[in-house]
């Protein structure tokens, strides 16, 4: 009897894993994050105190229009900050935080279209962790709802503060 219960339990775990809520991103949907200066030029190095922000883009190549829920909190959660230590390894130092209110907004994106999802500046308003000169990356998994399905996009953006 115990063996049968173990087999049923293992089969349940396998089924739950196979049909989890989040799916791999569709190949025809692209997520991009860029670090830009106040002239909207993509950069990977800046001076401490410079005006910079992260911009998030979504590109649809699905050969049809799709709907998505505009991410707000998800963008901040994606921007986990890691700093390179003296051994060359990256250590988590924090992420920005801000109170974001409002209801989810459903948007549409046409085929072969790229849309700006939003931007997050590196300012004290977003309570960024202290970032002294050094090498960093931000990134993690961004979860988006596209056509009533949850997808996850993984990305890292490396940069240097002088």
Range of the domain at 71: 23-161
> 32 falls in which pLDDT band (50, 70, 90)?
very high
- Report the candidate in 27, 45, 22 with the shortest Cα–Cα distance to residue 35: 45
> Cβ atoms within 10 A of the Cβ of 43, count?
14
pTM of model > 0.85: no
Structure-token match 């999802």, residue found:
117
For residue 132, give both structure tokens. 């002294």
Instruction: Give the total number of structural domains in the chain.
Output: 1
Percent of the chain beyond pLDDT 70? 81
Let me know if residue 1 belongs to a domain. no
Let me know if residue 12 belongs to a domain. no
Which CATH number covers residue 153?
A: 2.60.40
Q: What pLDDT, in 10s, does the model give residues 35-78?
A: 999 999 999 999 998 999 999 999 999 899 999 888 777 777 88
């Amino acid at each position: 009897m115990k063996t049968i219960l173990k087999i049923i339990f293992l089969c349940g775990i396998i089924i739950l894993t196979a049909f989890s809520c989040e799916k791999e991103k569709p190949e025809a949907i692209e997520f991009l994050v860029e670090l830009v200066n106040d002239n909207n030029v993509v950069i990977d190095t800046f001076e401490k105190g410079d005006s910079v922000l992260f911009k998030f883009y979504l590109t649809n190549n699905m050969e049809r229009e799709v709907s998505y829920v505009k991410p707000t909190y998800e963008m901040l959660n994606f921007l986990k900050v890691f700093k390179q230590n003296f051994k060359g390894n990256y250590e988590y130092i924090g992420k920005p935080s801000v109170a974001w209110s409002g209801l989810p907004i459903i948007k549409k994106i046409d085929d072969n279209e790229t849309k700006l999802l939003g931007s997050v500046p590196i300012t004290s308003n977003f309570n960024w962790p202290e970032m002294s000169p050094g090498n960093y990356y931000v990134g993690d998994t961004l979860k988006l709802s596209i056509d009533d399905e949850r997808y996850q996009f993984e990305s890292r953006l490396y940069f240097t503060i002088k």
